[in-house]
Amino acid sequence: MSVLTRDEAQTRADLLTVLHYTVALDLTTGEDTFDSRTTIRFTARADADTFVELKPAELRAATLDGQPLDPQTLDDNRLPLTLTAGDHELTVDAAMRYSRTGEGMHRFTDPTDGETYVYTQLFLDDVQRVYAAFDQPDLKATFDVTVKAPDRWTVLANSRTTHDGHGTWTAATTPPISTYLMAVAAGPWHSVRTQHRGLPFAIHCRASLAPHLDDDAEEILDVTTRCFDRYHAKFDEPYPFDSYDQAFVPEFNAGAMENPGLVTFRDEFVYRSAVTDTERQTRAMVIAHEMAHMWFGDLVTLRWWDDIWLNESFAEYMGYQTLIEATRFTETWTEFAVARKSWGYDADQRPSTHPVAPEHVPDTAAALLNFDGISYAKGASALRQLVTWLGEKDFLAGINTHFARHRFANATLADFLDSLAAHTDRDVHAWADAWLRTTGVDTLTATTGTGPGRWTLALQHEGGRPHRITVGVYDRVLGSDRSLVLRERHETDVPGEPESHTGVRPALVVPNDQDQTYAKIRLDEHSLEITLRGLSQVPDGLTRAVLWNTLRDMVRDGDLDPFGYLATASAHLPEESDLAIVQGVLTFARGQITDRYLAPGQRAEALTLLGELCRDLMRRTEDGSQPGLRLTAVRHRISSAQRADTLLGWLAEDTVPGGPELDPELRWRILARLAVLGAVDGTAIAGELERDPSATGQEGAARCRAALPDADAKKRAWDAMFRGDELSNYLFTATAQGFWQPEQAGLTAEYVTRWFTDAPAVARRRGPAIAEAAGQWAFPAHAVEEDTLRRGRACLDSDDVTPALRRKLADQLDDLARALRVRDAG
């Protein structure tokens, strides 16, 4: 599919004003294709040649101002148009293919009850898989959408829908929106409906998940309405659409998508099994994030994809901050520090790093690669620093000016900075140059000293950004060598002069104490020693998150032995009260330290330490007072198990002694680990699938079958991923997750070499979504060897790697090289 370049988009935007789309979809024509008829009314400012995009199974007919166009002129995804100055009407009639990869119009049949659902995911350039369009964000238009659907189906769209009684649903005319934001979701949905502020609100899921949605409907709608009210308190511009639907849809590639009036979420957020309160907070944050997009992205939309941060960074920042202000989730920045910020730090230290607001994104393929930890986590961190530096009052005033100036239109970074500048004397353009146009992570290194009645603090600054930070100063509690108490917090600017303070040197000095900036932190020697000995005694959860991130960065940079990190976790996690921290530390320890940063001969010892830590956490939660902590400990004890007997006992009893009882998620987790250990076979997996035939069960079975230590099982899994095209995006990912296991390195050695030919081939054949899955989940990340690195670099040098896979491969190779350095440092 031809990508759209920025120059082409600019030329077309200079030529056209697009007024209106009429889109008629027929979803009753079969399982493989649907009918799409599009009429576009637009004006050309001059005589010129241009094109409209579509990617049909069959282009039946097209007319321009009533005159037929030759369907044979369709070149890949471009239908050429020769225009005269003035008004025009283009009609395109085509059959379009359903997707199994979450791109375009995705079709899913629920294995539980046989019901079928379809939904659109048109970001970034997948519009042309559903309807003909001038597909770029700055050619906004109003939309009229009709959908013919099977009996018993409900059709959801960007605006309120009505049914004519004969199978056709009509959506109300939308305000001007970008093409990628048009949305439809159709099927026999289970819906929970309400009204808020005079608008219809609803949540939807497939019928088989109805009991689980009903269990959480009150919580989901409470978060939704609280955030809605809080945004109205912040923003002068009211919610700009006529309804607010949230649909939890199957096999969704992203976490969610901000379609105006119809937000789509991955339906794992409809919990079938027990979850922790931190996971509920994550769901709430995604709800708040997507609602923020109704203003940041939908009302005011970027002009071109170089300004995706105007969408994602703002929604990320607003989502976290609004949860604190409006809901019971008041510690969200701790979870952001542990789970999201580390994503940004990692991405920003790879060769593929880019500015938050890059100055040149040449085409849509390049743009798609920039939806990463930099555009989300780093951008949100930059905004948090901007609010610290600018002040929230001026920041919100600038935002509201921005909305007023560009409502239902498009804007750039320069436009936004001009809106901010109208409310402050600070040089926001210089701030943006330093923070948004540069790459990499600054490092702030603390050194402390003592003198008569005084102590000093100096912050060495590696990097070019100014920082406004809070420094936390902590003392030991009298009579204790571990307990710590806050002496003071004070703000300081970096770069700046060394500070001199009266009194004795504190036990612990924490730069960036409240995590208000984006920088790696290095502690002074004395503070590092106190941290390793007394981290759990630091009184504030956000400060502990900053310290855990510091230790994580030190491991990744070869400055802290991985076993030192595990020892710190063993000492302090049993006393940790913030579940987000526990989950983040255990995930890093199990996912990176045991499988990548330690040599194979050290892995068993590390897994033993993690298993003992999880047993300790389980002993401390036997009274049932901390179910989330206990569930987290159980999950990680399962993944760290090296023998099968305990897990087989749990599975047979259908419970963990002392709880919890095994729900489907825990049963599949146990079965997957037993498959790795060779303690179950295909018959056991089939039996579990009969017990849980759901879509999640199908994924669990695929994961388990691929994890079996059997040559035939590995061949079947590999062929399913790379030889056939039948696996959906989710089943591909599940199979990949099961395939590579460090315990089975000898069995899968031949496939390490094969990945570098088979993955590029499947990426070319099946497109970006499968390419990303092949790069992220199917890459042999456990093979931390120089030969893997050499083969990977040779693959990157070839011309056969698609952009989506190339980015993932480059990142994997950088992580692999880092793991080799960590091993060498140890």
pLDDT 10s digits, 147-160:
999 999 999 999 99
Asked if 138 and 410 touch (Cβ cutoff 8 Å), the reply is yes
**pLDDT tens by residue, 28-59:** 999 999 999 999 999 999 999 999 999 999 99
Residue 440 identity (one-letter amino acid): G
Strand ordering across the sheet containing 467-476: 484-494, 467-476, 508-510
pLDDT tens per residue across span 319-362 = 999 999 999 999 999 999 999 999 999 999 999 999 999 999 99
- Domain positions in the chain are 1-188, 207-436, 441-560, 722-826
Condensed to tens digits (0 to 9), the pLDDT of residues 581-632 reads 999 999 999 999 999 999 999 999 999 999 999 999 999 999 998 999 999 9
For the chain, the residue count is 826
Question: Are 350 and 381 contacting, i.e. CB atoms less than 8 angstroms apart?
Answer: no
Q: Judge whether 1-188 and 207-436 match in fold.
A: no
Q: Which band of pLDDT confidence, cut at 50, 70 and 90, is reported for residue 477?
A: confident
- For domain 207-436, say whether CATH 2.40.50.180 is its number: no
Quick one: DSSP state of residue 73? Answer: G
- Cα separation, 574 vs 252, whole angstroms: 36
- The per-residue pLDDT for range 157-195, each reduced to its tens digit, is 999 999 999 999 999 999 999 999 999 999 999 999 999
> Could you tell me if 356 and 435 are in contact, meaning their C-beta atoms sit under 8 angstroms apart?
yes
- Spatial distance between the Cα atoms of 657 and 618, rounded to a whole number of angstroms: 10
Beta bridge partners of 17: 43
Q: Is 290 a catalytic residue?
A: yes
Residues 6+ apart with CB under 8 A from 544: 535, 536, 538, 576, 578, 581
DSSP secondary structure code for residue 375 in this structure: I
- Contacts of 114 by beta carbon, 8 Å cutoff, 6+ apart: none
C-alpha distances (whole Å) from 510 to each of 346, 548, 599 are 22, 12, 32
- Examine the pLDDT at 73 and tell me if it is beyond 90: yes
Smallest CA-to-CA distance from 643 within 686, 598, 676, 610 is with: 676
Nearest to 526 by CA among 499, 504, 505: 505
Q: Which fold has domain 441-560?
A: Immunoglobulin-like (2.60.40)
Rounded Cα distance, 521 and 9, in Å: 42
- Give the least confident one: 86-100, 357-371, 661-675: 357-371
Q: Quick: pLDDT tens for 398-447.
A: 999 999 999 999 999 999 999 999 999 999 999 999 999 999 999 999 99
**Phi (first) and psi of residue 178, to 5 degrees:** -75, 155
* DSSP string across 309-351: HHHHHHHHHHHHHHHHHHSS---HHHHIIIIIHHHHHHHHTST
Closest CA to 720 of 695, 698, 744, 747: 698
Q: Please write the tens of the pLDDT for every residue from 533-571.
A: 999 999 999 999 999 999 999 999 999 999 999 999 999
CATH of 1-188 given 3.90.226.10, 2.30.30.90, 2.60.40.1730, 1.10.150.20 = 2.60.40.1730
290, 316, 576, 699: the catalytic one is 290
pLDDT tens-digit readout, 711-737: 999 999 999 999 999 999 999 999 999
Nearest to 652 by CA among 679, 618, 625: 679
pLDDT tens by residue, 486-542:
999 999 999 999 999 999 999 999 999 999 999 999 999 999 999 999 999 999 999
pLDDT averaged over every residue in the chain = 97
* pLDDT value, residue 481: 60
**How much of the chain exceeds pLDDT 70, in percent?**
99
Sign of the Cα torsion 324, 467, 417, 137 reads: negative
CA atoms within 13 A on the CB side of 405: 17
What are the tens digits of pLDDT across the range 243-274?
999 999 999 999 999 999 999 999 999 999 99
Q: Would you call 427 exposed, middle or buried from its count of C-beta atoms within 10 A (0-12, 13-18, 19+)?
A: exposed
pLDDT of residue 478: 72
pLDDT score of 101: 98
